[in-house]
Structure 1
């Protein structure tokens, strides 16, 4: 048949892109726009072969072969079929099993049934060499694509390169259309304490001097360790001054207590309580087709839905009293939502705590864009 098929080794593609753009092969180091990637593969394949696309096969591995969020988003895209191998632990590392065998079987079956005239392989694994030879024997032209290597060298099997009919290298500009390095979130280590209660009215001169000496506003959400190291500001009356941490992050190990653990913000309803059955279906569709899975983006999407359904505009302003703490139930719901996108999972043998900070930062970023910041005491600039 005069059609082309693309077989993609996801481990190779995402690992090579991460090495080139982020300096490390871990796929968690890059943010991927999967619809753009699929579109770029289709466009390039039809241009290179001069044939219409039949299908793109995406080969990857997953724990217990259960689709991860990115796999669920991929398999609802047009002309995309996802094939999953097993992801298992071996000697302290995650290794994939069955992916090469699945690619070999699919390649051989396509060639044997004359389902296509050209096959594009995006992989570097020499184990596919017998499958390539078999496809050629059945009259299929084999195009082998590589991603530009980080060190300028080859990142494919030389035997595989020698057996392919055509070979192309997809350069950095092509890769940057659909991938970008994740920016690390640097924890704050020396920031001013957050007062639990508003300060009493002060003279104008004293307020101006205090404002001049105040540090710059927080740009990232501090970690529980940062909060534990703060020296709290005495509250009114002075006898109520606290020692130790002033806030609590309820979703992390080792809760950090504060004086008034129950605040007005804790009474705000969760997103689940505000969401109808019809909205759940719409949210799921948006998650599959539009949300890329970047930690900050996930936090912003969650906050946007919650704010849209919350009601009175003044109610979200209650959260500023507790910044950067998110109410316990809402924070837990936020992190469970983020877990659907593969965030907060074990990455390179450790839980990615940076995801937690970025998710919460995205939540506050959306809140700041929608709700006026009411943390400034109302009487701070009034004359006494």
Structure 2
């Protein structure tokens, strides 16, 4: 009987880890992916590493459309040769459902049936440890195929999963870097505004505040354009920096949202400080850096309407952003479980930076 290798891909892990490598944040919406190229790279690597032909790639993801139905990209992936599309669903709260269960069951049951002699698992999820051991009990070799981090180790792989597997191989970094790209437009490709070159920096500078009132010096139309329109109401956040109200958002002809570059409170230069101190608490600068990086990644593709919707939904953070905050914090610390105090703190810092986002 001919021997085969097989690949089981936890797409959530693959894309979140690849996004972290490329953009610094696990936010999936911040990247564009060449799926055929990425899959072809994985297939070539596992066939070379195992010396066996590929049986198939099992692709586990959440159906992007209602009811767990695939979107256009997922449809195209399912049509690729030797690809088995296995979809879970997204709950009303934006959480992934059914994906890990499908992957674990397939790994255990197909392991018992010995459909392949060597299985490559693209995941770092601790919950798959028992499924790995079940497949191994049937004589199947299970090798982790992890996304390479910048520190030279596999990104966000559970210690228990790493211990249970028969080995770990990192995905070729060139495959990730070539097939996964940031959605952000490189600075060199952004057309320069002629008015900005002439000295008009209104769209790029953070509005100054007056010490007497704490409001923007140019918060009224008369101050900026000589208009006689009535004053626009301004909201006042806790840190004292004036923010435009929804009415001002509606009047402003904005094209993008921009996170201010200045950080008035905590710095994000962590240096040699430990991520977790002796008491097990996360370093405050790490928490702040994670919150800001996730928001920066979101801002690259966000619209003014999306910013309004995000602020209007406070204190509820959209599922994708909340997952990115926790995944990034976990990845930076190298720990699987995050204590409740740190979860609350990273969310508080996220909202702090949301309040500082401006329009350009």
> Mapping of 1:347-366 within 5 angstroms?
352-353=302-303
CA contact (8 A) 2:30 2:298 kept: no
Structure 2 distance, partners of 1:23, 1:350, is 13
Structure 1 residue 41, shift from structure 2 partner: 0.9
SS of equivalent to 2:178 = coil
CA contact (8 A) 2:8 2:122 kept: yes
Structure 2 distance, partners of 1:89, 1:167, is 35
Paired position in structure 1 for 2:80? 77
Paired position in structure 2 for 1:24? 25
CA contact (8 A) 2:143 2:165 kept: yes
Structure 1 distance, partners of 2:7, 2:114, is 15
CA contact (8 A) 1:3 1:52 kept: yes
Q: Where do 4+ consecutive residues of structure 1 move more than 3 Å? A: 150-154, 184-192, 253-257, 347-352
Over 3 Å counting, the alpha-carbon distance change for 1:100 and 1:349 in structure 2 is farther
Root mean square deviation, CA, Å: 4.2
Query: Which is further off, 174-183 or 158-167?
Result: 174-183
Paired position in structure 1 for 2:183? 182
SS of equivalent to 1:148 = coil
SS of equivalent to 1:180 = strand
Structure 2 distance, partners of 1:179, 1:100, is 23
What is the CA deviation profile of residues 35-85 of structure 1, one whole-angstrom value per residue up to 9, with x for unaligned ones?
Answer: 001100110111111111111011011342011222011011111111111
Structure 2 distance, partners of 1:185, 1:110, is 45
Over 3 Å counting, the alpha-carbon distance change for 1:149 and 1:95 in structure 2 is farther
What is the CA deviation profile of residues 327-372 of structure 1, one whole-angstrom value per residue up to 9, with x for unaligned ones?
Answer: xxxxxxxxxxxxxxxxxxxx9799833999xxxxxxxxxxxxxxxx
1:4 and 2:5 matched = yes
TM-score by length of 1: 0.49
SS of equivalent to 2:143 = strand
Aligned residues: 220
Over 3 Å counting, the alpha-carbon distance change for 1:177 and 1:348 in structure 2 is closer
Structure 1 residue 16, shift from structure 2 partner: 0.4
Structure 1 residue 150, shift from structure 2 partner: 4.5
CA contact (8 A) 2:183 2:300 kept: no
CA contact (8 A) 2:4 2:55 kept: yes
Paired position in structure 2 for 1:108? 108
Over 3 Å counting, the alpha-carbon distance change for 1:68 and 1:255 in structure 2 is farther
Aligned with residue 71 of structure 2, among 52, 55, 68: 68
Paired position in structure 1 for 2:166? 165
SS of equivalent to 1:177 = helix
SS of equivalent to 2:55 = strand
Paired position in structure 2 for 1:148? 148
Paired position in structure 2 for 1:87? 90
Structure 2 distance, partners of 1:171, 1:34, is 15
Paired position in structure 1 for 2:256? none
Structure 1 residue 183, shift from structure 2 partner: 2.1
1:120 and 2:93 matched = no
Over 3 Å counting, the alpha-carbon distance change for 1:28 and 1:351 in structure 2 is closer
Structure 1: tracts of 5 or more residues without a match: 193-212, 216-228, 230-242, 244-252, 258-346, 357-384
Structure 1 distance, partners of 2:172, 2:305, is 29
Structure 2: tracts of 5 or more residues without a match: 201-220, 222-228, 230-248, 254-296, 307-360
Structure 1 distance, partners of 2:305, 2:29, is 10
SS of equivalent to 1:21 = helix
SS of equivalent to 2:85 = strand
Structure 2 distance, partners of 1:100, 1:181, is 27
Structure of higher CA gyration radius: 1
Structure 1 residue 173, shift from structure 2 partner: 2.3
Paired position in structure 1 for 2:130? 130
Structure 1 distance, partners of 2:18, 2:117, is 28
> Mapping of 1:1-384 within 5 angstroms?
2-62=3-63, 63-90=66-93, 94-150=94-150, 152=152, 154-184=155-185, 352-353=302-303
Structure 2 distance, partners of 1:160, 1:101, is 16
